[in-house]
Amino acid sequence: MLKETGVPEIEKAVVILHQMSADEEMQEIARLREKAILDEASAKDYYRRTALAEGREKGRAEGRAEGRAEERARATAKLRAMGMTEEQIQEFLK
C-alpha cells in the first residue's frame, strides 16, 4: 500500500521499516530460543541436584539402618557370650 505511493523516499522508508521489523522479529525469535535453551538447562540442573540430594539421603538412611543392624548383631553376640538366654537378650535389646 505505502510501498506503491510513487514517491521514492516513502517507498525506500517503507522498505527500510520492513527490514527493521524483520530484524526485530528475528531478534525476538532468537531471544526466545535462547531463553528456552537456558530454561531447559536450568530445569535439568535443578532435577539433577534434586536427584543427587535424594540419592544421598537414601544412601544415608540405608547406611544408618545397616549400622543399627550390625550393632544389634554385635550386641547379641556379646550377650550370648556372656551366657544370656535368647529371651533375656530380646528383653535387653528392646
pLDDT digits (tens, 9 = 90+) for 19-36: 877 777 888 888 899 999
Work out the number of other CB atoms within 10 angstroms of the CB of residue 73. Answer: 10
The 3-state DSSP composition of the chain as helix, strand, coil percent (nearest 5) reads 90, 0, 10
What are the extents of the domains in the chain? 2-93
pLDDT, tens digit, 9 for 90 and up, residues 48-74: 999 999 999 999 999 999 999 999 999
The reported pTM is 0.49
